[in-house]
Amino acid sequence: MPAQSDVANRSVIIGRSSSHFTRITRIFAAELGVAYDFQVVRDLMSSNAEDYGGNPALRIPNLKTPQGVWFGALNISRELWRQSGRKLHVVWPEDLDAPVTANAQELVLQAMATEVSLVMAKVGGASEGGAHPVKLRTSLLNMLAWLEENAEAALAALPAQRDLSYLEVTLFCLVQHLEFREVLPTAGYAALNRFCQRFAARASAKETAFRFDT
Ligand SMILES: N[C@@H](CCC(=O)N[C@@H](CS)C(=O)NCC(=O)O)C(=O)O
């Protein structure tokens, strides 16, 4: 049983079980063996920063720690790495020094952000037929086509002795989420599906399956 002081000092992930950016952080926590509490943001339309742990961008995920609040999935994943006793070899975005790997990371994160815009516009009741949503969809399809063509090369270029990379975790969360939120059917992306099948075998992926919080 954890000591009471450990429980009192435990970090809190503020997010949603249906959010791909939140899932990144939960996969990192599981891989790194870091215990945390989970605080669900029930209303993503809230304009009160307090509902998001104080994040003025009104976004999730955020991580509450005794030192302060960390905003965003990358900051959180790094902080979880610092908290972990495991000292895994993680390849972070700034370690990607070839165009194929750096561009893959850029496009995965941009595709995730574009997907957020499309989902939030739908939730907010905006028309999907407007000029900008149509452009966003074209951009998303272009990015997915690029990733389908280049992801295998990018993954093969990662250091072989790594335990994990931000690229793999984010790519997995992106592809799974497109299907989960019915933004795009992903069955036609064979290379991306092969990658997801391999990644899905990890305990951290199994433990963090997308679901709508009740
Ligand atoms: N840069 C942030 C992006 C986070 C983000 O966009 N989260 C989405 C949920 S997956 C969100 O909070 N959406 C609310 C909104 O768009 O109003 C990160 O890397 O964590």
The residues with which 164 forms a beta bridge, in sequence order, are 90
Residue minimizing CA distance to atom 13 of ligand 1: 59
**Quick one: 194 and 118 in the same domain?**
yes
- The backbone region for 164, taken as left when phi is positive above 0, alpha when psi lies in -120 to 50, beta otherwise, is beta
The finding on whether 105 has its CB within 6 A of some atom of ligand 1 is: no
Whether 5 shows a pLDDT value over 70: the answer reads no
Closest-lying ligand 1 atom to the alpha carbon of residue 45: 17
Mean pLDDT over all residues of the chain? 95
Per-residue model confidence (pLDDT) at position 106: 98
Determine, yes or no, domain membership for 210.
no
Per-residue pLDDT of 24-43, as tens digits, reads: 999 999 999 999 999 999 99
Q: Dump strand ranges (E) for 34-106.
A: 36-40, 62-65, 68-71, 90-91
**Distance between CA 142 and CA 103 in Å, rounded?**
13
User: Which pLDDT tens digit goes with each residue over 40-66?
Assistant: 999 999 999 999 999 999 999 999 999
Same structural domain, 34 and 116: no
b/e string for 62-71 if b means 16 or more Cβ within 10 A? Answer: bbbbeeebbb
For the stretch 135-189, pLDDT in tens is 999 999 999 999 999 999 999 999 999 999 999 999 999 999 999 999 999 999 9
Residue 192 belongs to some domain of the structure? yes
CATH number of the domain that 38 lies in?
Answer: 3.40.30.10
Compute, in angstroms, the gap from residue 3 CA to the centroid of ligand 1: 34
Q: Is 9 found in the same domain as 96?
A: no
127 SS3 class: coil
- Based on its alpha-carbon atoms, the radius of gyration of the chain, rounded to whole angstroms, reads 17
Question: Domain range holding 166?
Answer: 90-202
CA of 164 to the centre of ligand 1 (A): 23
User: Structurally, how many domains does the chain consist of?
Assistant: 2
